[in-house]
Amino acid sequence: MTRLLFVCMGNICRSPLAEGIFLHLAAQSGQRDRFEVDSAGIGDWHVGHEPDPRSQAVANKHGITLVCRARQIESPEDFENFDLLLAMDRQNHRDLISLSPSEHQGKIHLMREYDPEGGNKAEVPDPYYGGPRGFDDVYQMLYRSCEKLLEDLVKR
């Protein structure tokens, strides 16, 4: 079993959407039982909250239901328990590196490293302060990234 943790700032917009998309794609491909998937936030502002309604709306539009509740990253447990931690942006990546025991830092990657239209430095922008269009754009980035991530993990 491969264990994945998607991480953003507050765990209500990007990371729950990534979690939902990845689970949806894994189920569609018949690979769901190969993965344990979760999401978390760097900060504790939204702990216990449902995903942002705009994340839920864009997920629902694509037949995905987001069922998670926001939680904050738990150090060092999350670094020990997950095989791959996927940060949405460079600040999240830096925060994870600073929280992580050194032996687990190799598990931390930027989400868009897996996006065929992204690259090593590409970020998933935070759509929180924007309108619905930003959530549609983030959905597309995350979908492409999750699709490639799943493909790569299934090949292992």
Total-model pTM: 0.97
What is the tens place of the pLDDT at every residue in 32-88?
999 999 999 999 999 999 999 999 999 999 999 999 999 999 888 999 999 999 999
3-class SS of residue 148: helix
Q: Which residue in 8, 13, 68, 146 is the catalytic one? A: 8
Q: Does residue 132 register a pLDDT over 80? A: no
Q: Which residue in 13, 14, 52, 71 is the catalytic one? A: 14
Q: Which residue in 38, 78, 89, 126 is the catalytic one? A: 126
140 vs 135: CA distance, rounded Å: 9
pLDDT band at 139 (very low <50, low <70, confident <90, very high): very high
126 as an active site residue: the answer is yes
- In terms of Cα–Cα distance, which of 70, 92, 88 is closest to 12? 70
